[in-house]
Amino acid sequence: MRRLLPPLPGAYAIVSSPPFSPLGRLRGADHRDGEQNKAHKAGKHRGSNARRQGGRIPIKTLSKQQRRHLAKLDRKNRAWQLRQQHKEAVLEEKRNLGRKDGPPHLVVVVRLHSNIVTQRALSLFWSSEASTVCQTEAGGPGFALLCPRSKLRWRFAVADTGNLHTVLDLAKVADTLLLLLDPLEGWDAAGDYCLSCIFAQGLPSYVLAVPGLVDQPLKKQLDCRKKLSKAIEKRFPEAKLFPLDTEQDSLLLLQHLATQKQRHLAFRDRRAHLLADAAEFLPSSDAASVGTLKVSGYVRGRRLDVNSLVHIVGHGDFQMAQVDAPPEPFVLNPRGRPRSVGEPGDSAAEVMQEDAKVLSKADPSKQESLQSEADPDPMDGEQTWPTEEELREAEESLQQKKKISKKVPKGTSAYQAAWILDEEEFQNEEEG
């Protein structure tokens, strides 16, 4: 407040009172005497800014938050799209495997104990009325199973545990391994060694089946299942045992094979591979040991390039002449009466003899060469194995450089001996 001085005696003065507000505060005061301290302002951080702004958001900050929110939505949408793509890829793989648009589901049967009778277990698949069985080759261990009702095709191949290389070669191309276990012991020493080799190479999708469980007493069946579950826990964690004694068991097993998730092997997914259903060798007119090998089968994995090399197990690498598309050997709905196991039918070799559509022929200019090692050129300056002349020259140079022995006092080191001159060298220095 402004302090008013009293007027001097005899002086004329006009005294006016300052305007007051209804609340008692002065209005229009230009000067305030006394100490005036500035109010404390909080630091400019997030909390003080929010209190100062009072809920008001600048336009620039709004755009940043909006961009951040949109980026978050984009990330969530991208993650959802990747999940959908992966889900669609898995479903598409299940739809194509064993269907009419894809190759038959290849199941390799491996018995892990010598007491198991493989043909007894496989005969359960033949007895189904809703399926048709076709022989792949006359007298061969495998067969094809056609199920028109479920629109599925199966190709069963039997691997002998005694031949380890055959088991590993079939496991490379198998979609699913059907491992047969003994109800009492599970697997023997040969089966354990076979499993170790398969795990080292790469284990594809598998199913564990136990044939002959009903042959055990009823009280002992539960104990056998518990012992087997404990025995397989180390090698096959969270695996399920399927009994294989009745036709109903075989149908449930086929349903599980068709719906289970496929395990991928990197070395197999990178290449095209084929399990031959039939093979025919046509010798050339020049030599009987040289000719053309015609192989029929379903190509799996990557696309097969006719200009690339093909490896035949046990024989080596070869070039391809052409790739044909013969008629389908295993049709879901064959014309006429369905064929059974014992009835003769069109084998894969007979199908190859029919008119086949040529898909591609090899181009000599683009065809991959069979030469695996490069011939060294002596003019290129490459570091190769030394010749006989170079070895002889090296031996002669070593013979010329003979060690010269010196007589030095006892206890002289090699460094000190290098400074000691021989008598001949000392005389030459004096004469010089």
Per residue of the chain (432 residues), what is the pLDDT tens digit?
445 455 454 544 444 444 544 544 445 556 777 888 887 665 556 666 666 666 666 655 556 666 666 678 888 888 899 899 988 888 877 777 777 777 888 899 988 888 888 888 888 887 666 667 776 654 456 788 888 777 888 888 888 878 888 889 898 888 889 998 888 888 888 888 999 999 998 888 889 988 888 888 888 888 888 888 888 888 888 888 888 888 888 888 888 888 888 888 888 888 888 888 888 888 887 777 788 888 888 888 888 888 888 888 888 888 888 888 888 777 777 665 444 444 444 555 555 555 678 888 888 888 888 877 777 776 666 566 778 888 888 888 887 765 566 777 888 888 888 787 766 555 555 555
SS3 content of the chain, % helix, strand, coil (to 5): 35, 20, 50
- Per-residue model confidence (pLDDT) at position 338: 46
Residue 319: phi and psi, rounded to 5, are -90, 155
Q: Cα separations (Å) of 263 from 94, 102, 203, 266, 273?
A: 12, 17, 8, 10, 16
Q: DSSP for 159-187, please give it.
A: E-TT-HHHHHHHHHH-SEEEEE-BTTTB-
Which of the 8 DSSP states describes residue 304? P
How far separated are the first and last CA of the chain, in Å rounded? 121
**The CATH number of domain 99-267 is 3.40.50.300:** yes
Please give the single-letter amino acid code of residue 152.
L
| Residue 109 burial (10 A CB sphere; 0-12, 13-18, 19+) | buried
Span(s) in the chain for CATH 3.40.50.300 = 99-267
Q: How far apart are CA 391 and CA 395, in angstroms?
A: 6
Using CA atoms, how far apart are residues 110 and 276, in angstroms rounded to an integer?
19
How far is 111 from 348, CA to CA, in rounded Å? 27
Task: Tell me what pLDDT residue 1 has.
Answer: 46
Give the closest residue to 108 by CA, choosing from 153, 156, 169, 143.
156
Q: How far apart are CA 111 and CA 213, in angstroms?
A: 15
Question: Which DSSP state fits 279?
Answer: E
Distance from CA of residue 397 to its chain's centroid? 57
What does the block give as tokens for 82? 């990747």
Kindly give the pairing relationship between strand 205-210 and strand 272-283: unpaired
Answer yes or no: are the C-beta atoms of 312 and 286 closer than 8 Å.
no
Buried b / exposed e along 243-253 (16+ C-beta atoms within 10 A):
bbbeeebbbeb
